[in-house]
A and B are shown apart, each in its own frame.
Chain A
Amino acid sequence: MGVIAAFGAPLLTACGDGGIPAGANAGNASLPTFVKFPGVTADLPGTNAGVTDGYFTYPANPPKTTTGIPGDGKPITVMMPAAGAIPPAPDQNAYAQELNKRLGSELKVAWTPSADWSQKLATTIAGDQLPDVFNLLNETPDFPSMLEAKALDLTPYLAGDAIKKYPALANIPTESWRGAVFNGKIFGLPIPRGITTSRILYRREDILEQLGATAVPTSFAEFLELCETVTEPSKNRWALASLPMTFVQEMYQLPNNWSEHDGAFSHLFEHENMKAALEAGRQLVAAKVVNPDAFASAQAQYKKWFDAGTAVMVEDSLSAWQGFQRRGVAIPGFKMAAHPAPGADGGSGSFWLGDPNHSITAINKKSKDRVETILNVFNWLASPFGTEEDMLRQYGVEGLDYELDGSDPILTDQGTLEIKANPVYLTGSPATLYISQGEDAVRARHDAEEALVPLAVKDASNGLYSATASRTGAQQLKSMEALQNDIVQGRKPVSAWDAGVKDWQGKAGDKMRSEYEEAFAQLKNA
């Protein structure tokens, strides 16, 4: 049941994963040096352009890569959003006990349901009750000033070669660190996600094969035709779980939120092709190839429709791949794939890169005397895939939390429950591609990534700070989303878009543009 709904799926995925979209970077001088961790070799190596390292199995006998115990024996207080159901308390959780033992400093975590995060953070700040370490899931207005007031400036400890003291942190890509820099200072540690936050269109190949419709569409017209072919309401089957607006906009080569040309910024909304994309969206809705409850539901429900075969295609993040595969094991014949968006009139579309980070974690200004201990603990937690530390962090204690199948760890019931204590929103290692469902599944996604990445388009505002975006950006985005919704659902004509864009420019767009341009120029001159 789609009870995860909150505000529905963001149609205009400007910063669609709730992460922090921008940092105010005042020059590369303050960024940490990137030193690739000499870890295990990938079976399908990734690329600098963004393709993720792929592994067919979990590496056998993962090596221990840290020495000694990072902690100082005293607990570290932590505040972060709970990823799902909260874990059993440490006194009843073998995983948490083992993790704390290895860290040498107990992580005293105050979990908060992610839906309530902003209230919890605001009251905690107002009451001056921030713990040693706290996640910053959402940007607050005047974010850099808030960080200056409450978070410790980590530049002296991490900038340049200083980070080499923490080899696992040095393994976090520079692109991710940009999101943690504000006012030219490093105010946090990124939780890196690479390209996995980008949205793609998933297809149920098994159903398409049954229907004899496996051809990959090469234009919007063909895509619409495919959708009409596979939609069969009397069999409770629709082509699309939701309106795949990112996919459609990629077909029309629209900018990924902001684009930059010779230092001038322009926005997706203002692009000449935007109205064509809206018209295409409207046609898809009018053709009744989208599940009729799509606009009343959210992503978690879309996933279920895809699993159930009620939807043949669904737009979701690249990181959802593993989840679909995992659940697909129980679905007879399950087979899925993804292809890049074709050009609307043939040729190729584009691929919008998502935010390289999930969010960032800051260290309390008041915990300055323990900063090195805390960074050591973070370094341990950021140990990359294939290390003994990562194995413990992700899977717990062998025999209790997981059993080995070959070299692949398989979580037990106890493990499934206990690893909810994994502090995933503190920090982490770069995203990797590992699916325990075997080589074919890994290859399928690796191939998809290789096809997508050459078409990648970045959001030009990534790593730049705009005060207007931070204050009213979300509101303005909301009203444009509402307008887009009205248009694609046929409540307003496509021509209504122009007035909306004018309004948006006046209220926020133009100010955001000049702020980004200024930040961009500064960065270039630095």
Chain B
Amino acid sequence: MSRKIIDGMPAPAMGTRLLKGFILLLICAVVIVPFIGIISTSVASPEQVNKAGGFVLFPDSVQWSAYASVLSGGVVTRSLFVSAGITVVGTLLSLTVTSMLGWALSRRSMVGNKFMIMLVLFSLLFTPGMIPTYLMVKQLGMLDSYWALIVPTMVSGFNVIVMRSFFSGIPAELIDAARMDGAGEWQIFRRIALPLSKAVMAVIGLFYAVGYWNSFFNAMLYLSDSAKWPLQLVLRTYVVNGTQLGEADLGALDAVLPPEPSIQMAILVIAIVPILLVYPFLQKHFAKGVMTGAVKG
């Protein structure tokens, strides 16, 4: 075989590469154009946005007044810090609990294994009502506390099942060998399971982080003090508010104005940027080329 081999794969032919490049370019364009619109609208002049009926793809001029308006008064800034804190603490706790449970469930010999898997699986299929959950949170004294934004959603059954499935791929021989060397359960988890599962840890971590970052509903239910609100709930008051107040009240009073498109778009951008900044750091963990030993299949 005379073809060059890169990274274990034969180099593709030129034609294939061009075709792939074209397809990717097309897909990216479809995704990115609306985002350009969102960013453009956020920096366009109110006159232009008004003339265009609310959405601008190419701004005539760039102005930051929408951002200045969103960031003035400190509400959004404060909520950014709240969201960041909840996301970091929540993700760390979630990853710890999820990986421990996933690991235990991947050990088929464990007593009660099947029962617990069912417990996790069924938690995906039956959702408890909003009111009983609220009463539980209240009973635990977590109303108006940041813990109410973390603890009730700390474990996702889906993530546990996915993690367990990845752990199950770790060859039993590796575990047995470690045990022969005198390693306890804790060491096996730390020295074998976790290092071999960096990719899935990064992904599940991202799932949790984005879950915490995006959630607003629990904060709406559990936090009465709006000074404690996370970013997404504040954002919600800009984006979907007014709907239930009735048309008659939109614009009737100085305090009740329909939201300006550029401000809505600016706050969207503000909410997405932090997660965008984190992504590259996680991404490298699920880049290809991680040596994992063996995988069944």
Contact = CB atoms under 8 A, between A and B. Distances in A.
| Contact flag (A, B; Cβ within 8 A) | yes
B248 A114 contact: no
Contacts of B227: 89
Interface string A1-24: 111111101000000111100000
Interface in B125-154: 130-131, 134-135, 138, 143
Contacts of A19: 246
A331 to B, nearest CB: 7
A88 B51 contact: no
Nearest to A84: B241
A79 B221 CA distance: 12
Contacts of A298: 243
Given A110-B226, A116-B217, A323-B257, A304 B244 contact: no
A422 B251 contact: no
Nearest to A308: B53
Contacts of B224: 79, 110
A320 B247 contact: yes
Given A3-B264, A88-B75, A92-B74, A112 B220 contact: yes
A48 interface: no
Contact of B248 (A84, A116, A358, A416): A358
A123 B251 contact: no
B249 A83 contact: yes
A122 B135 CA distance: 12
Contacts of B251: 303, 319-320, 322-324, 326
A420 interface: yes
Contacts of A79: 224
Given A83-B256, A88-B74, A319-B252, A123 B237 contact: no
B284 interface: no
B245 A83 contact: yes
Contacts of A303: 250-251, 258
Given A3-B264, A137-B244, A127 B257 contact: no
B11 interface: no
B73 A417 contact: yes
Interface in B217-263: 217, 220-221, 224-227, 229, 233-234, 236-259, 261
A113 B233 contact: yes
B248 A308 contact: no
Size category, B interface:
35 or more
A86 B138 CA distance: 25
A411 interface: yes
B64 to A, nearest CB: 14
B246 A16 contact: yes
Contacts of B54: 1-2, 301, 304, 308
Interface string B30-58: 00000000000100001100111111000
A84 B247 contact: no
Nearest to B75: A88
Contact of B261 (A1, A82, A92, A411): A1
* Residue picked from B220, B233, B250, most chain A C-beta under 10 Å: B250
B72 interface: yes
B52 to A, nearest CB: 7
Given A113-B236, A330-B47, A85 B259 contact: yes
A389 to B, nearest CB: 16
A308 B250 contact: no
Contact of A86 (B221, B234, B242, B253): B234
17 contacts: A3-B240, A4-B240, A7-B243, A82-B226, A83-B245, A84-B259, A88-B75, A92-B74, A110-B224, A114-B241, A116-B220, A120-B220, A304-B54, A308-B54, A416-B254, A422-B255, A424-B256
Given A83-B255, A123-B131, 7 more contacts: A1-B265, A9-B247, A89-B74, A116-B217, A301-B54, A307-B50, A322-B252
Interface of A: 1-7, 9, 16-19, 79, 81-89, 92-93, 109-120, 122-123, 126-127, 129, 137-138, 193, 196-197, 298-301, 303-305, 307-308, 310, 316-320, 322-324, 326-327, 330-331, 354, 358, 394-395, 411, 413, 416-420, 422, 424-425
